[in-house]
Amino acid sequence: MNNEALERLLAQQRSYFASGKTRSIHWRVEQLKKLKQAIIKYEPDILDALHADIGKPPMQAYGSEIFLCLHEINNALKKIHCWTRAQRVSTPWYMLPARSEIVYEPYGVALIISPWNYPVQLTFLPLIGAIAAGNCAIIKPSEFSPVTSSLLAKIIAEYFDPEYVMVVEGDAHRAELLLEQKFNYIFFTGSPKVGSLVMQAAAKQLTPVTLELGGKNPCIVNADCDLDAAAKRIVAGKFTNVGQSCVAPDYLFVHHSIKRQFIENLKKYIVLFYGQDPAANHDYPNIVTPEHVDRLAGLIQGANVLMGGTYDRQKRYFAPTLIELGELFAQHPSMQGEIFGPILPIIEYETIDYALGYITSKPKPLAFYLFTNDKKLQNTIINQTSSGGVCINNISLQAANLNLPFGGVGRSGIGHYHGKYSFLTFSHAKPIVKGSNWFDKPLYKSRSPLLKKFLDWVVR
């Protein structure tokens, strides 16, 4: 699809939106039901596609992709009438007898650019918000998950008119062509590097954006925590999808008094979950491309490898890997950017100030994890650090609750979504004031100095 074809498609969607069809709440509900029906019908194909692209085992794929999408749709169907209702707000006394309210209106045509690591979830979750808010949408899935991207195009084409929702496949050049067009909203999920390019393109058109990015998510393991439970949850959260998750813990600060025991616990659960030879475990997914394997191999150079470290470029395999970093940890390759793979650096700390000093000197992460029973320390992390979200004594749960906003801050993202927040993201909150002609306040006509004196008295 060339530039002219994209312009025609965008013009068709603008025309479709201008018809007013998408503004009907009943119609939005029907579209959400269609999407739910499509996901259910194509569930086996989705599972096969996810396995073909990144080797996701069926249960993991269902839980992290299909279930979350269906749960999000059910939540939207249940609450959309409440979300779309005009919200009455109080009116200042000096504006009476006027009435004030907020009306949520759709932006228009949205561009949704989704990644390869959770290609179904991270396509459909923002699409659900766009539909619930009354928008049209063009979807650009990742070329790094080609089987899933092709299936998404097939599903959308079967259930929706292209003038309403359409998938545009292609490589980075196709994404660049899309970003040259004038959209009413752009929703991007991916790396900070590409997110910066998306924001630059949006700025040329003054298009509002949501950027769901990532970052180096820190995890502090304090001496007083349940070491066994912490190790189990960290291994589960880190190595799910072989670490190719934006909310996975990226590195650990472990208190020196428990480090050796904790490392043994981590090893125990890696073996328990994936066996002595994870390469033979069908529930252990693949790295997305051989080039990504090469990148990960470079991140363990010069480190003390405690476990794993083996890989196979052609099979796109990289073992669950624990590395220990010394005093010069900040200079190691694994600490220069988001790992996005099954490598977990472990750093020893003696005082919490030491760990926090490093963490707070870096860009704000998408997630901050803390394992401790110390309420004072918990409050310190919550109140004295900044991150997209915080999860205490567990991993990734902050991203699974639809009642919480999910998103980053600074380099880890702009804006948030999930549940009602998805609807709000794709909606313009339009303020409305309804005046009245039955009473014209004399103060409006007065030029008396008494008016100023009265107003000064009210506000001081």
Per the residue annotation, which of 69, 72, 136, 212 is the catalytic one?
212
Any catalytic annotation for residue 101? no
Question: Is the CB of residue 286 less than 8 Å from the CB of residue 61?
Answer: no
- Tokens 């963490």: give the residue: 359
Per the residue annotation, which of 246, 338, 348, 391 is the catalytic one?
246
Any catalytic annotation for residue 163? no
Q: Tell me the CA distances in angstroms from 400 to 68, 177, 406, 418, one per residue in order.
A: 8, 33, 9, 9
- How long is the chain? 460
Q: Tell me the CA distances in angstroms from 242 to 269, 274, 279, 303, 353, one per residue in order.
A: 15, 11, 12, 20, 31
Quick one: how far is CA 197 from the chain centroid? 18
Residues 434, 143: Cα–Cα separation, whole Å: 50
Q: Tell me the CA distances in angstroms from 236 to 158, 242, 246, 432, one per residue in order.
A: 37, 10, 14, 48
Strand (E) or helix (H) holding 210:
strand 209-212
Sequence-distant (6+) residues with CB within 8 A of 416 are 210, 388, 405, 406, 407, 425
Residues labelled catalytic:
212, 246
